[in-house]
Amino acid sequence: MSAAGTEVRRRLAELSLELPVLGPPKYAYEPVVRAGELLYVSGQISRTGAGEILGGRLGDGIGVAEGIAAARVSALNLLARIDDAVGLENVVRVLKLNAWVASTADAIDQPEVVDGASQLLIDVLGDAGRHARTALPAPGLPQGALVELDATVAVRA
């Protein structure tokens, strides 16, 4: 394993994080598509490795703390997809993170919720995890999930 790969694995261990084992998608899409040195990662919802959906809607009995936890789960799923596709050691930079948070019409804390995912990416990948980002509300997400993330990632050739 490369020095970069060893560093990423060390960070995961220090944070007591394990990448989930994700199966193939249920529907007609690819979880990851590579185009040259770019990786496009399909939406990853807040489903734990045990298959539990962290769901609900921000502002409807769900607070920021629960949202942050769901965003972190989605980010772990995103990292697992990247690792399966090219290996985390081959990440040059997470370029863009798009995030949706299931929310009531008056909920406004989506950016704070999505910071859970952003911080996890930085904690695991270091500077390569720093990214541009969009954090949007959604009236509902697939399978009742609280958070969904997708990303564009620069990878080594």
Domains of the chain by range and CATH? 3-19+35-155 (3.30.1330.40)
Calculate what percentage of the chain has a pLDDT beyond 70. Answer: 99
The DSSP bridge partners found for residue 153 are 39, 94
List the one residue out of 22, 53, 21, 28 whose CA is nearest residue 147. Answer: 53
Neighbour count for residue 18 (Cβ, 10 Å): 11
Q: Taking the model in full, what pTM does it have?
A: 0.96
d(CA 9, CA 58): 32
- Is residue 52 pLDDT above 80, yes or no? yes
CB-count exposure of residue 153 (10 Å: 0-12, 13-18, 19+): buried
Contact 45, 141 (CB under 8 A): yes
In this predicted structure, the answer to whether residue 75 has a pLDDT above a threshold of 70 is yes
- Predicted local distance difference test score (pLDDT) of residue 1: 64
pLDDT in tens, 14-51: 999 999 999 999 899 999 999 999 999 999 999 999 99
pLDDT at 6: 87
Tell me the C-alpha distance between 117 and 126, whole Å.
13
What is the per-residue pLDDT across 87-144, written as a single tens digit (0 to 9) for each? 999 999 999 999 999 999 999 999 999 999 999 999 999 999 999 999 999 999 999 9
